[in-house]
Amino acid sequence: MVHSLTLQQRLERHQVRLEELVYWTERQKQPLTQLTLEGEPATVGTPWPGTDGVFNFTGNGTVPADWPLADCRLRMNLGGEGLVMLSDDQGIATGYGIDPYHRSFPLKSCQFSFTAECTARLPFGEPVRAPRIEWAELVWIDTAVEQLHLLMQQIAEAAETLKGHDVVPHLLDLAEKAFYQLDWPSATEHYISRTAQAPLQQKIWQLPVTRGEPSELSEQQRQTVIDVYQQLLKGLAELQKRFPPEGEIALTGHAHIDLCWLWPYDETRRKLRRTFHTALSLMEQSPEFRFNQSTAHYYWQISQTDPALLEKITERVKTGQWETLGGLWVEPDTNMPTGESLARQVLYGQQFFEQQFGIRHETCWMPDCFGFTGALPQLLQQGGMKNFFTIKVNWSETNRFPADLFWWEGLDGSRVLMHTFDNPMQGYNGFVHPHGHRETWKNFRGKDKHPQTLLTVGYGDGGGGPVPEMITREEQLKVFPTLPKARWATVKDFFAGANQSAERTALPVWAGEIYLELHRATLTTQGRVKKAHRDAEQALISAEIAGSLAHMLGADAPDSLRDSWRYVLKNEFHDILPGSSIREVNIQAVEELTEVIRQAHEYQQDAMQTLIGQLPAAHGKHLVVVNPSLDCRPLETELADGTALSTDTLLPPLSVAVVDPDQLQPGGSLSVSETHLENRHLRILLNADGTLASMLHKASGRETLAGRGNQLWAYTADKPRNWDAWDVEEDFAARGEEITDLHSLQVVESGSHRVAIRLVRQFRDSRICQTYSLTANGKRLDIHTELDWHDRRILLKTLTPVAVKAREATCECAYGVVKRPTHENTSWDAAMFEAAAHRFADLSEPGFGVALLNNGKYGHSIRHNILALSLLRSPIYPDPLADEGEQQFTYALYPHNDEWYRGGVREEAEALNRPLLISESQPAAMGLYQPVKLSGPVSLSGFKPAEDGQGLILRVYEPAGGRGSLEMGLTKGWKNEGPVTVLEEPMNVSANSIKPFEIKSFRLCRG
């Protein structure tokens, strides 16, 4: 046939004709009348009695005798999101999630009943303001028409996405021929009734009166539909021979379920059950379908709330249809947790998967996290994981990440195979769709190295997962020409193939941190959550150290603090710790972390008492001090009554000292006035506005500052295009106000061990109180800050120009440091205008440097010689009251000789974050006890009971990028059984040396 239309016009005609089929996909339907809502009779249109909490529905019905059961569906929109338990005539229930994408459910018997529990919310937490039962009906599907419509639709989608390809005219020829062969009804009254709901018909001034039950296709007409469908499949298969698939995609069903985000955790519990029941139901529909789900915590939660569901999942795991993966407790943020927290993510995640499913995962699954620390590859390798998946690197706004199948090399040189895909149709919440398949393959830059890319499909973020249509689409697309071959597969099999390719072909290598050029404000938003998290981490680490030292001195083995750690790990989820969730989530996070801190302090106190019980007794009231670090520390602490101690007494690493507090003398003289603080190390002068005028480092004779120090700036232009809680944009400083309104300044402490000056400032409706404090032997100036904040959409920073010139700043990260540019030479440098540092960021030049320390902040911007720390952000979405009210934290300025690693920067930062443990008024004999001695260039990660109860685990790491020898000495009756992995299994590495940024754990046992 000669066509007078262009290909685009023919495609548009096909799309219009395609719409007609939709209105004959239902043969008959009838309303469901036996409904209840909260125990009361209900019908379609019945409003819910409220909008908060869970509401319960029931219903039952009977399929008409002349309807074939296989073609029948229960379709419902009850007004919100929920879980439907649909029971057959034997009382056997099958679960289904109900949401805007899942509203049609197959029936297994003609007599049925259901229960449903729903919330008046949509999947992304949007409230349904006036919930009611929208519809509930039995539908007899015309399966032949439904399948033909979907196939015709996929042909249209393929032609659209393949524009310009030689195959397009042939696709349209097939579709047009198929339409010509259909015998379609045309009787006016029935036709008008069937098509009355078409968008175009709905625009007519007044429609004719329509029939309530328009006729369906005749058997003869239906047979043409069946014949045409088969002819189309055959024609597509023939066309595929001429135009074979270009590329290959491994499809995996997926439901990204944020542990919390735009809904509270109680709703997540319900989302888990809905999504998991839906996935199981799809496995009944197709034995080829594959579904993956990460996150050990989710399976643990299901074991607590629905153990029968977990049993069903376990059975599908055994058959290979359900793939557990991930290896971590949750999908955490990795920019902010300390290294020990990340080690516990691996330890407790893999431990649970092995205990529950007998599986140790090889792939770390983090599709949605906001950048990745360079410590991860080493941790993953030690945890049995050699692969890593994400797609978030594609979100960077300035520079395109250069590879999508590559080796990611960590700080220490460990490598994992990393894959990412670029799907323009909702990323990791993908669809089985010609356009998604075609573009994902087109965007895959590693196709010359490996012939397959991964694609996850299913509604997500708020859960839900795949829908039945996706299974049908995959089956139909098997015969399509040109489009990539796309088949259900497991992530495990995909990476097995990718690793084989990596053995044959050299892949690109990305070394170090993977910085996301987006979502930088997640390092600052919700400061209370971040501070509580930091405190919880450090409190648990200190508690375990105290218990382990007590055990080495003769006490019973301490218990694992796994359950407390799990709460910390849960709150490291990538929308909780980053501060990008609703208010309810943030409140719960602070409550849970505060409870962990309380428990950890109880553990510390109990461990200290147990430890003291192992020491020789004596008369008197002595001070028992534990040094919970591998650094030699001066005895500086604060007693229960607030009295400060700052002495020259040095405490060896991991030691227990019993001292007489009356004999402790200050480590030098102090002086203070409203304009200065001074000890033997520092002389600090204040300006009249409360900023720092001078900071003399006496050991070097150098001035630390190159301008007024500790300037407080409020940036009122911090209003990003999108992602209010997530983003700070490069123009945030275009409008800033320095906060100079000084309400008061006074000396508040002038003791022999510590002096302090307190400043109170006002900014609009907010109050800022800061206390400059200097101890007798202190080498840093602490700036304790109390905020009472009542202003919206402000970014608050402290800025200090220092007398140091350096092209790079050194920022602490998990298990090491990362160097960051202080200049903007390249687009990569310029894009890193706000970046993470843990406990310190340092600017050094040969012989001298200045560090900015903190005990609960992460967002830093270091340009040229200005050390800047983000203190607070107050966005309005998704929490209108983010950082509203009171919070407190401390940051400090620390000038030093030499480079940072020789100048004691990490040691000072650790002392600020993990103070000495003390117990007052104890009848223990004075003395010094050091049950474990470890010499070498290492820092302490953790000292804990082994999870199997066999001894203790001492974990250290090299923090600066150097190397050296290790020598360990243990108290009598203890032995070092050698290095172990983070999974606490024997590791074949040297016990007597350490390499740059290496993490090394040892099992210590009695014997």
Cβ–Cβ under 8 Å, residues 679 and 773: no
Total Cβ atoms within 10 A of residue 89 = 12
Half-sphere exposure of 505 (CA within 13 A, CB side): 16
Phi, psi of 379 (to 5 degrees): -65, -40
In whole angstroms, give the CA distance from residue 662 to residue 674: 30
Please give the C-alpha separations between residue 829 and each of 326, 820, 823, 824, 838, in angstroms, as whole numbers. 32, 8, 7, 5, 20
Query: Out of 142, 306, 368, 879, which one is annotated catalytic?
Result: 368
In whole angstroms, give the CA distance from residue 657 to residue 528: 34
The pairing of strands 111-119 and 54-62 is antiparallel
In whole angstroms, give the CA distance from residue 988 to residue 1005: 18
Kindly provide the residue ranges of all beta strands, DSSP E only, lying in 377-421, ordered along the sequence: 387-389, 405-409, 415-419
Nearest to residue 584, comparing CAs of 262, 306, 899?
Answer: 262
Helix (H) or strand (E) holding 888: strand 885-897
Cβ–Cβ under 8 Å, residues 408 and 386: no
Cβ–Cβ under 8 Å, residues 879 and 262: no
CA Rg, the chain, in Å?
33
In whole angstroms, give the CA distance from residue 30 to residue 586: 46
Q: What angle do CA 118, 121, 124 make, to 5 degrees?
A: 125
Kindly provide the residue ranges of all beta strands, DSSP E only, lying in 398-473, ordered along the sequence: 405-409, 415-419, 453-457
| Residue 250, both tokens | 């491994």
Please return the burial class of 303, using the count of CB atoms within 10 Å of its CB with bins 0-12, 13-18 and 19+: middle
Total Cβ atoms within 10 A of residue 50 = 10
Total Cβ atoms within 10 A of residue 405 = 25
Half-sphere exposure of 592 (CA within 13 A, CB side): 22
Using DSSP, state whether 951 is helix, strand or coil: coil
In whole angstroms, give the CA distance from residue 187 to residue 245: 43
The pairing of strands 692-697 and 682-686 is antiparallel
What secondary structure, in 3-state letters, does 79-146 show?
A: CCEEEEEEECCCCCEEEEEEECCECEEECCCCEEEEEEEEECECCCCCECCCCECCEEEEEEECHHHH
With tokens 């109900």, the residue in question is 98
Kindly provide the residue ranges of all beta strands, DSSP E only, lying in 403-508, ordered along the sequence: 405-409, 415-419, 453-457, 485-488
Cβ–Cβ under 8 Å, residues 507 and 405: yes
In whole angstroms, give the CA distance from residue 624 to residue 607: 12
Helix (H) or strand (E) holding 355: helix 339-357
Asked if 575 is an active-site residue, the reply is no
In whole angstroms, give the CA distance from residue 352 to residue 164: 51
* Alpha carbon of residue 538 to chain centroid: 21
Using DSSP, state whether 356 is helix, strand or coil: helix
Active site residues: 368
